[in-house]
Amino acid sequence: MAFLVVLGTIVIAAFPQVVGADESYVVQSSSMSPAIGAGDLVMVNDVETDDIDNGDIITFRTGDEATTVTHRVVDISREDDITLFTTKGDANEEPDSEPVAAENVVGRVWFSVPLLGYVVAFAGSQMGLVALVVIPAVALIASEVWALYQSAESDDSEPSNPGDERT
């Protein structure tokens, strides 16, 4: 049963379209607690930035483009035809120092699943690869080899042609 939960989690994280989301991300910090905690898996839908309102939780790329952040929109402004979102983590005292340009918005959080991000992060690690792929593969191979051995052993102990036995 635990294997199915882990497998299902990995499938959902790798293919969020299975549950109707466009992207999935593992939340790395508690800045959005209690709404979203560290280790939660968030499902994000691509939306037009004009459809984002104050209070929505969005995922966006930071200046280095490699890091994503999930925070709540607390203000929306326009400068030179560019939409800017002021965001803030629910657990943070102050809004984020830099506004988020519309072009950096990945999407709006549709829902989150508590703690499943830890499973996804573990599955992506070397230890997770060993625990979730290598060990089960070795166990399966060993099981098949044992079954073949047992089958060959039982074939050796039976007479080759039971009709040839004479009394």
- Residues belonging to the active site: 29
* CA-based nearest residue to 43, from 19, 62, 60: 19
Whether residue 38 contacts residue 29, with contact meaning beta carbons closer than 8 Å, is answered with yes
Element (H, E) at 13: helix 2-14
Helices (H), the chain: 2-14, 116-123, 126-129, 135-157
Query: What backbone phi and psi angles, to 5 degrees, belong to 150?
Result: -60, -40
* β partners of residue 76: 85
